[in-house]
Amino acid sequence: MPLPSSSRPVLTEDWQNAGFGLYIHWPFCQSKCPYCDFNSHVADQIDQGRWGRAYLAEIDRVGALTAGRALNTVYFGGGTPSLMSPELVAALLEKIRSTWSLANDVEITLEANPSSVEAARFHGYRDAGVNRVSLGIQALNDEDLRRLGRLHSVNEAQTAFDTARSVFDRVSFDLIYARQGQTPESWAAELKQALAMAADHLSLYQLTIEAGTAFADRYARGRLPDLPPEDIAADMYLVTQELCDAARLSAYEVSNHAQKGSESRHNLIYWRYGDYAGIGPGAHGRVTISGQKHATETFLQPGRWLEAVESQGCGESGVSIVTRAEQAEEYLMMGLRLHEGISLSRYEILGGKPLDITKINDLVDNGLVVSESGRLIATPQGRLLLNGVLRELLAE
C-alpha cells in the first residue's frame, strides 16, 4: 500500500539522503591489464601541465552548476592516479577547496598501484590533502600477479602497503579471486594473509571475463584454462564472508568489507544514490540541477576529451534527464548491494509507486530478502543471487 502522505519524508532534493561527491578520472596506466574493462590507456608521454589545466577548467564548470553545496568526498580513480605528480594533485585539491565548502570529515581517496608509488610520493599526496589510499594489489601470489598482467611482485605490494600504512590513517586494497587454478582452500589461505596485514578496508572481487578485454579474447580461444566453475566460485564467496566476518571486516556491500566506521564514504554515495560529478575521460555522473537529476557522460578517448575541454569548454559527450522511474530503479539496483538495503518509502517517493508487495513477500518466503522497519534488505543468500532478485522486483 502507498504510504500516507503525512508519513512520507520530505526533502528539498533526494540526493541529500546520501551526499555529494566528486570523481576525477586519470586515464593513464603503465600497462593495460588483460582483465580490465575500465577506461585506461598506456601513453609514453603525458603533459601533466596541460592535463592539469583541463581538470581545473572542468572543476570550475561543474562548480558553477553545483554552487552552494558541501562536498563530502573526492576520489581520484583510473587508470593509475598514482602516476599523477603530487604537485598536480595538490593543485586540483586547492581548486576544489576554493570551489566548494568541504565537509568537516571530507574523505579524499587516491587509487595507487604498488609498482608506481614510493614513500616520497605518498608523503606528497598526504601533504596535498589525500587522506585515504586504495591499493590495487589484486593477488598475493607472484605467478597469479604475472597472469593478471600486474607489474609488481608480492614483496613490492607488501612494501607499498606498509609504506601507505605509515603515511595514511586509512588504507584499503583490492584482491581478485576465482582466478585460474584457484580453490576455496588456496583462496582462504591467501585471504587470511590479507586479513593479517591489518587493512581497515578490503575490496574483494570475483574475476569476471568482460567483453572487449584481452582475457575475453583468450577465453574465447580456450587459452584461459582452469577457471573455477560457478559453484566453486560461489564457495569462494562464502569463504570470503566467513573469514571477513571472523576478522570483523564484515561486508557492508557485496564486494566490500570494512571495520566499522572505515567504509568507503565515496562509494557509499553511489550505493546510497547521492549526487556525484564525474570529471575526466570516461567519467560518469549523476547531478541534480534545479530539482532534476541528470546523467552525465564524458568522452572516452583521452585526446578527444582534452580537445573538447580546451576548444569547447566542456568534456561531456552527453547529458540526459533521469526520469523518476529510472531513479527509483537505479536506487534499488545500487542500494540492494548494501548490507543496510534500501528505504521503501524513499523508493516510493522516487518512482511514484511502491514496490510490488506480492513480489517482496515471495522473495521473503524464499529467504532472499527481509522487509523490516521500512527497509528492504537482501539476505546473504539474496546478495549471492542479487541479479535474480533485482530481475524479479523490476519485472513488469
How do the domains of the chain map onto residue ranges? 5-270, 324-396
pLDDT-derived band of residue 39, with 50, 70 and 90 as boundaries?
A: low
Instruction: Kindly tell me if the per-residue pLDDT of 342 is higher than 90.
Output: yes
What pLDDT is stored for residue 220 in this prediction? 78
Is the pLDDT confidence value at 13 over 80?
Answer: yes
The lowest-confidence range among 99-108, 145-154, 299-308 is 145-154
- The mean predicted confidence, pLDDT, of the chain is 92
CATH for the stretch 5-270: 3.20.20.70
Average pLDDT over residues 175-196: 96
| pLDDT tops 90 at residue 71 | yes
Please give the average per-residue pLDDT across 89-115, as a whole number. 96
Q: Is 246 in contact with 238 (CB distance < 8 Å)?
A: no
Tens of pLDDT, residues 315-337: 999 999 999 999 999 999 999 99
Band the pLDDT of 379: cuts 50, 70, 90.
very high
- What's the rounded mean pLDDT across residues 193-217? 88
Residues 113, 152: contact at Cβ < 8 Å?
A: yes
Pick from 10-24, 136-150, 166-180, 276-290: least confident: 10-24
Mean pLDDT of 52-68: 97
Q: Tens digits of per-residue pLDDT, 84-99? A: 999 999 999 999 999 9
CATH code that applies to domain 324-396: 1.10.10.920
Q: What is the mean predicted confidence (pLDDT) over 196-216?
A: 87
**Predicted pLDDT of residue 126:** 97
Instruction: Name the band, by pLDDT with cuts 50, 70 and 90, for residue 6.
Output: very low
C-alpha cell at 37: 574493462
pLDDT at 44: 72
Query: Which cell numbers hold the place of 272?
Result: 546510497
Cα–Cα nearest to 30, from 121, 136, 119: 136
Say what the pLDDT of residue 215 is.
76
Query: Residue 3 pLDDT > 50, yes or no?
Result: no
Confidence band of 226 (pLDDT split at 50, 70, 90): confident
Q: So what's the pLDDT on residue 7?
A: 35
pLDDT surpassing 70 at residue 5: no
> Does residue 30 have a pLDDT over 90?
no
Question: What HEC string does the chain produce?
Answer: CCCCHHHCCCCCCHHHHCCEEEEEEECEECCCCCCCCCCCEECCCCCHHHHHHHHHHHHHHHHHHCCCCEEEEEEEEECCHHHCCHHHHHHHHHHHHHHCEEEEEEEEEEEECHHHCCHHHHHHHHHHCCCEEEEEEECCCHHHHHHCCCCCCHHHHHHHHHHHHHHCCEEEEEEEECCCCCCHHHHHHHHHHHHHCCCCEEEEEECCCCCCCHHHHHHHCCCCCCCCCHHHHHHHHHHHHHHHHHCCCCEEECCEEECCCCCCHHHHHHHCCCEEEEECCCCEEEEEECCEEEEEEECCCHHHHHHHHHHHCCCEEEEEECCHHHHHHHHHHHHCCECCCEEHHHHHHHHCCCCCHHHHHHHHHCCCEEEECCEEEECHHHHHCHHHHHHHHHCC
- What CA–CA distance (Å, rounded) separates 74 from 93? 9
Per-residue pLDDT for 149 more than 60? yes
In the predicted structure, residue 36 carries a pLDDT above the cut 70: no
Q: Which among 79, 86, 71 has a CA at the least distance from the CA of 111? A: 79
Q: What percent of the chain has pLDDT over 70?
A: 94
Burial 68-92 (b: 16+ CB within 10 A, else e): ebebbbbbbbbbbbbbbbbebbbbb
Task: Give the pLDDT band of residue 101 (cuts 50, 70, 90).
Answer: very high
